Amino acid sequence: MKFSLFIAVILCFAGVIAAQTYTNRFDTVDVDAILSNQRILNNYIKCILEKGPCTAEGRELKKLLPDALATDCSKCTQTQRSNSDKVISHLKAQKPNEFKQILKKYDPEGRSQLSRSLNK
């Protein structure tokens, strides 16, 4: 009986830990391919800014973006952190106006560390 209770507690604890990160369902998306293809990248930007249709990945991103900005990606997997750093660097350098629009939409108060770093 004690062993069953112990297993149940461990499984509950594992579930809580798993819920502390975003889904890794899209971690295998080839971010480099998206960033190097202007048509696809522009479609994602339009999706995020609600100016065009969204793929499943785009819808998921739109849903998670406000929380990711507010928490400095604290629930991101390591792959998501790496990919987001890559995307942020690319957008800042190649599409600064669109990047600012995204931040304005998803962090209108400018509270995220990313928004504050742009305003320095």
- pLDDT tens digit sequence for 16-75: 344 588 888 888 989 999 999 999 999 999 999 999 999 988 999 999 999 999 999 999
Is-contact 114 69, C-beta < 8 A?
yes
Number of structural domains in the chain = 1
Q: Amino acid identity, residue 94?
A: Q
CA dist 100 to 57, 83, 92, Å?
21, 19, 8
This prediction's pTM: 0.77
CATH number at residue 41: 1.10.2080.10
Domain that holds residue 20: 2-118
**pLDDT recorded at residue 119:** 63
Q: What percent of the chain has pLDDT over 90?
A: 61
**pLDDT recorded at residue 83:** 93
Cβ within 8 Å of residue 55, ≥6 positions away: 43, 44, 47
